[in-house]
């Protein structure tokens, strides 16, 4: 079976490939296709954005598509950056720019109250309009400066209290089990293993 990943983000592609290893599925990213329609992520929830990406790509390619929308929600900031996580510092912002903006907004917030969660909404969309959703979150807190070289996005400043390490310090095999995306993909793999994909 073949599934198209509705992303061009190579960090996300690598992470998903590791999580889906051994599932017997050929995974292709959008980097394998030309002339795709532009998808504006204008939903107010992660699920709306993931569904929009999955549906648009599936209808255009006629393929089964897997899309996720993920983000970071900081409690002291009322859930910011939320669905704007990838473009928190503006359209085309780098991970470093997004992290810098977040840390600047948290400058006066004490460390113990910098609680946050990563959230992932994963949607599998099949030609014909049938779709399935898988969601998960990962609780932690935001630290003062980045640590670690693994991962991408906000990983260097997101501390998992169970390991006392940032997401960027965790080995991929651990991160892919405990992270928001790892948990959502575990639900998806369990669903696949139960033979529910028609």
- Whether pTM > 0.95 for this model: the answer is no
pLDDT at 197 over 90: no
pLDDT of residue 84 exceeding 80: yes
Q: Tally Cβ neighbours within 10 Å of residue 47.
A: 17
Predicted confidence band of residue 151 (pLDDT cuts 50, 70, 90)? confident
DSSP-derived pairing of the beta strands 2-5 and 26-29: parallel
Residue 91 has pLDDT above 70, yes or no: yes
- Is the pLDDT at 157 greater than 90? The verdict is yes
| 183 pLDDT more than 90 | yes
Burial label, 196 (beta-carbon count in 10 A; 0-12, 13-18, 19+): exposed
Catalytic residues: 69
- Domains of the chain as residue ranges with CATH: 2-193 (3.90.950.10)
Other Cβ atoms within 10 Å of 95 Cβ, number = 17
Four-CA torsion 140, 143, 145, 149, nearest 10 degrees: -20
Query: What average pLDDT does this structure show over 151-171?
Result: 96
- Contact (CB, 8 A) for 153 and 166: no
- 8 Å CB contact between 145 and 72: no
Model pLDDT, residue 27: 87
């Amino acid at each position: 079976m073949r599934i198209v990943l509705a992303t061009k983000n190579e960090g996300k592609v690598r992470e998903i490939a590791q999580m889906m290893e051994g599932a017997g599925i050929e995974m292709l990213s959008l980097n394998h296709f030309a002339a795709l329609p532009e998808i504006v992520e204008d939903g107010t929830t992660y699920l709306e954005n993931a569904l929009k990406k999955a549906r648009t790509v599936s209808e255009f390619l006629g393929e089964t598509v897997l899309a996720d929308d993920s983000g970071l929600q900081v409690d002291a900031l009322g859930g910011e950056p939320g669905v704007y996580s990838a473009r928190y510092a503006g359209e085309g912002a780098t991970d470093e720019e997004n992290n810098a903006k977040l840390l600047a907004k948290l400058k006066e917030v004490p460390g113990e109250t910098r609680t946050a969660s990563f959230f992932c909404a994963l949607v599998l969309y099949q030609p014909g309009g049938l779709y399935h959703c898988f969601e998960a979150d990962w609780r932690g807190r935001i630290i003062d400066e980045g640590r670690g070289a693994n991962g991408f996005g906000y990983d260097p400043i997101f501390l998992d209290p169970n390991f006392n390490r940032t997401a960027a310090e965790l080995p991929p095999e651990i991160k892919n089990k405990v992270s928001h995306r790892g948990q959502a993909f575990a639900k998806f793999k369990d669903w696949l293993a139960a033979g529910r994909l028609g």
